[in-house]
Amino acid sequence: MGAPHTLLFLDPGHFHAALTLRVQHPRVAEEVVVYGPDGAERRDFLALVERFNRRPEAPTRWRPAVVTTDDPLARLVDERRGDVVVVAGRTGGKARAVARLHAAGFHVLADKPWLVGPEDLDAVRASLAGWPLAVEIMTGRHDLAARLLKRLVDVPAIFGGFRGDASAITLDSVHHLAKLVDGTPLRRPWWFFDVREQGTGAVDIPTHLVDQAQWLLDATGVPPGEVPALLSARVWPTRVPAETFAAITGLPGFPPALAPFVADGVLDYLCNTDLQFRLGGVSARAAARWALSVPPRGGDEYRVIARGAKADVRLEQGAHTGHRRQLTVECRDAAATRALLDRMEAWQAELPGIRAERVGAERYEVRPPPGLDGGHESHFSRVLAELLDAIDERRWPAATAERTLAKYTLLATAAGVTAGAGA
């Protein structure tokens, strides 16, 4: 193993930046360098890193070096105090910043989304054109239940290939503007609610949902660079009252920049979306909604349904599952059921204790062994580890780059189609 990598954080404005430091990584230097102006967002980032350092169980040892500057990108490029840059903050300008870092020779780990509209697509394309690496903070493929869903879909004797009717893949999610991160109420910056800075719902959560559809279809032979064909797109707002906005941001009222979106003390935040598209001849639907706050004993909700010729496979999390991830397989015949049970036996060596529990006539819940997945917040350090592996092995992930560009080409089209929807 060579010298440790030094992480540079460019104006961290989203809690995902700090989550990359949730676990100490042996190939990352303990000193990390943070570039940006002084302000609440940087203080929140540093406070979360400090909580990681002070927690009683498996504390981290990060030593943030803070560089205060009004031009953090220029200062970071000029000083070159590290080789990997983490970008998680405003979407507006992100595509151009990532492209500049890439051109300057830095590896980049950038949170989604990378673009606000079609005008950003050329910069995204340039960042993905070759070495050094520019990759997304894309955590969904590290979720154990999602990985099991993918494996079930890939077994022809169980799933039988995707059906040809409408929405062979359905992906839904519900997120919450007010939530907890590492057990503490999350404070969002005011610009999170400015779609000119952050993008509308058409380019935010769909980065994950479209990625999941691409992942489910890769075993069918769909080329990673094939651009999904947009069939329809719409966006609509979540109405955010002034008191809720104040609780989430810590500000006493709406900033003047948000005035075009405020009427009668309520902000129309254009964050919800419904996209329909086709990829490899398979129809998919991706819908994302934002609620104001988490209900009592609740949490984010998620649903993915893969409809096959022999079985439907569902991964769901919501009130009806007790807000736990629930993976079920509904077989259409006895042969698919036998194949499912046989596969549970075959996977015992790798996943001891995995089982399929009957919950209906031909419906089974697949229960993975407990304790193998540390939850969503633990996945960020795994994404960082994957990037470091690729850097150290000097391995160019061509399929990932092609898939990322194909996805953003679709989302840029959706953003263009829905432009002006909130006017």
Range with the poorest average pLDDT among 132-141, 152-161, 237-246 = 132-141
Question: How many C-alpha atoms does 217 have within 13 Å on its Cβ side?
Answer: 26
> What is the pLDDT of the chain when averaged over all its residues?
93
Question: How many C-alpha atoms does 142 have within 13 Å on its Cβ side?
Answer: 17
How would you write 142-209 as a 3-class SS string? HCHHHHHHHHHHCCCCCCCCECCCCCCEEEEEEEEEECEECCEECCCCHHHHCHHHHCCHHHCCHHHH
pLDDT (tens digit, 9 = 90+) per residue, 355-374? 999 998 889 999 998 866 65
Closest CA to 72 of 87, 60, 84: 87
Continuous segment of H or E residues that includes residue 329: strand 326-331
Q: What is the DSSP string of 93-138?
A: THHHHHHHHHHTT-EEEEESP--SSGGGHHHHHHHTSSSS-EEEE-
Listed by start position, the domains of the chain span: 7-139+378-418, 141-374
CATH of domain 141-374: 3.30.360.10
Q: Is 268 helix (H, G, I), strand (E, B) or coil?
A: strand
Cβ neighbours of residue 55 under 8 Å, at least 6 residues apart? none
Q: What is the pTM of this model?
A: 0.93
C-alpha 385 chain-centroid distance: 16
In CATH terms, 7-139+378-418 corresponds, of 2.40.50.100, 3.40.50.720, 3.40.190.290, 3.40.50.150, to: 3.40.50.720
Domains 7-139+378-418 and 141-374 share a fold: no
Burial of 72 from C-beta contacts in 10 A (0-12 / 13-18 / 19+): buried
pLDDT (tens digit, 9 = 90+) per residue, 7-44? 999 999 888 899 999 999 999 999 999 999 999 899 99
Res 423 pLDDT > 60: no
Res 306 pLDDT > 90: yes
Task: Give the pLDDT of residue 360.
Answer: 86
Q: Are residues 316 and 198 in contact, defined by beta-carbon separation less than 8 angstroms?
A: no
pLDDT (tens digit, 9 = 90+) per residue, 239-294? 999 999 999 999 999 999 999 999 999 999 999 999 999 999 999 999 999 999 88
Q: Are residues 365 and 356 in contact, defined by beta-carbon separation less than 8 angstroms?
A: yes
Question: How many C-alpha atoms does 353 have within 13 Å on its Cβ side?
Answer: 5
